[in-house]
Amino acid sequence: MQQERRERWSARYERHAAERYKPLAEEFAEFYHSSVAKAVDLLHRMAECDRESAAINSDAPDAEHRRLPKVELMAREMDQFTTSQPSIIDTLVLPQWGESGAWPPPQPSFAVSYAAMMAPAYDPRYSADWAKAQAARAEAMREQQRRQGEYYERLTKEQEARQNAEERARFGRQP
């Protein structure tokens, strides 16, 4: 009895797998891959268009009140998104087989973005070349001091020449 039941189940299993299960799985895989590729391409083009529209809107003259809405708002004939009618694009998640998600595109976390903003500029004083950096800074300071000395020396000579000329002119006018 048990053997007969197992054989009936096995025949039913094989028939179902061959006739319905495998063909549907293959059809779904083909459909999903092509549909996701098309959808992601469309979503990227919409996002690019929305960025360009936002730039155009921000450059509008003061008296101009026309604005380009997001493509999704236009397509859905809506004025704005609400909690009951949120943006499909912002809430949509499309997984990709064996890879990271197909949509939305990967975005760095806020922490990564913030840390990248705060990354210090390269400073050779805090590297293995600190001695060279210190010598270069000392040389730059000496050069700046030399230039400042020359400037003040020239300024003093010009001032003395101007004062001498004024005194000669004033002395020459006296009776």
pLDDT band at 36 (very low <50, low <70, confident <90, very high): confident
The pLDDT, as a whole number, for residue 83 is 92
Domain containing residue 27 = 2-119
Domain boundary among the residues 119, 143, 163 is at 119
Counting the structural domains of the chain, the total is 2
> 44 or 95, which is more confident?
44
Tens of pLDDT, residues 60-115: 998 889 999 999 999 999 999 999 999 988 888 888 776 667 777 777 888 888 87
Query: Does 62 lie in the same domain as 91?
Result: yes
The pLDDT, as a whole number, for residue 122 is 76
SS3 for the chain is: CHHHHHHHHHHHHHHHHHHHHHHHHHHHHHHHHHHHHHHHHHHHHHHHHHHHHHHHHHCCCCCCCCCCCCHHHHHHCCCCCCCCCCCHHHHCCECCCCCCCCECCCCCCHHHHHHHHCCCCCCHHHCCCHHHHHHHHHHHHHHHHHHHHHHHHHHHHHHHHHHHHHHHHHHHHCC
Tens of pLDDT, residues 112-167: 888 777 767 777 777 888 888 899 999 999 999 999 999 999 999 999 999 999 99
Query: Does 103 lie in the same domain as 18?
Result: yes
Query: Does 109 lie in the same domain as 25?
Result: yes
pTM recorded for the entire structure: 0.54
SS3 for 137-161 is: HHHHHHHHHHHHHHHHHHHHHHHHH
Query: Does 44 lie in the same domain as 69?
Result: yes
Query: Does 126 lie in the same domain as 114?
Result: no
